[in-house]
Amino acid sequence: MANSSENSGANLAVQRLREFCDLHKIETLFVAGDWPREMMLGDDRGVTKIEVAVAFSDEAILLGRLFASEFLGVVAETDDTAEKVQIVWPQNGASINIEFQGHPPYSHIDDHEIKDHLRNEHIDMTPLMRNVLSRSFTVDAVVFDLKDGQFRDPTGKAFNDIDDKRIRSIIPPGLLVKHRPTVVFDALDLKYKHDLKISSDLTHRLEGLGPLLLAHMNQKDILDRIVGVLKAGGVDALKQLKRFRLERFLANAEIKRRLKL
């Protein structure tokens, strides 16, 4: 990959995870989230979090603690209710956050509307599939199999959309935007970092979402995300933000100050 470093902290963490699985003959751990997506898209710079999805929910705490103590020599923080282990690994002057996840990282997957949809689609909701489907876009659905070092596509949609450089909702876009309107910023960040196009059906659902944002984010966080998008996308990003009815935030004096306008 042109913009990937084998010696980055994130890549070193994945190497250690593979060694851990090889030593203990573990076949049920997968890296999900940002790292496999960014590796497939060709630019994993800036990835500081490694999310480890499990095939069996009750493995997350046991294997997370064992990996932390045995391979990294650090103490893990455990959340028994969420079946989650968080590990902070100092590496190359930065901190790599490694999280073993027994439950999906995003709770909207348990909303009754979404569960009904997935049931109607006859999707086998294993812990791994629940983890994958709780994410935002099809390009987020790639996982890295720590057993054999191969990238997998559990939904059958990720590889095609990565090849087509397309951002599509992993569940019906109306449901995604309703429950997680903040994905507007995630979509725009991906668009400008990797020169991807947002699908027409997702774009349609994002139009007019502006009023929903304040119920899910505070104004400071919204302004922070808007500044990041504008720095990445310039004039086109400004057009997109207006299209999604975010004018009320664009008029904020803090935006102009931070962009030195």
Q: Domain spans of the chain?
A: 9-161, 165-259
Task: Quote the pLDDT of residue 214.
Answer: 87
Given a cut of 60, is residue 4 above it in pLDDT? no
- Give the confidence band of 93 by pLDDT, cuts at 50, 70, 90: confident
User: What CATH number is given for 9-161 in this structure?
Assistant: 3.30.460.10
Average pLDDT, the chain: 93
Instruction: Report residue 261's pLDDT band, with 50, 70 and 90 as the boundaries.
Output: low
pTM for the predicted model, two decimal places? 0.92
**Percent of the residues in the chain that have a pLDDT greater than 90, as a whole number:** 84
Domain 165-259 has CATH 3.40.50: no
Model confidence at 7, pLDDT cuts 50, 70, 90, reads: low
Query: How far is the C-alpha of 193 from the C-alpha of 36, rounded, in Å?
Result: 15
Across the range 97-114, mean pLDDT stands at 94
Q: What is the pLDDT of residue 40?
A: 96
Q: Is the pLDDT of residue 2 over 60?
A: no
In this structure, of 5-9, 155-159, 167-171, 179-183, the range with the lowest mean pLDDT score is 5-9
**Whole-number pLDDT of residue 5:** 61
155 close to 170: Cβ distance less than 8 angstroms: yes
Residue closest to 36 by CA, chosen among 164, 136, 149:
149
Q: Supply the pLDDT for residue 1.
A: 44
Cα-flanking dihedrals φ and ψ of residue 69, to 5°?
-75, -40
CA distance linking residue 37 with residue 49, whole number of Å: 12
CB burial of residue 121 (10 Å; 0-12, 13-18, 19+): exposed
- pLDDT computed for residue 152 by the predictor: 97
Residues 32-48: pLDDT tens digits? 999 999 999 998 888 99
Tell whether the model's pLDDT for residue 3 goes beyond 90: no
Nearest to 174 by CA among 136, 206, 198, 199: 206
pLDDT at residue number 209? 83
Phi-psi region of 173 (alpha: psi -120 to 50; beta: other; left: phi over 0): alpha
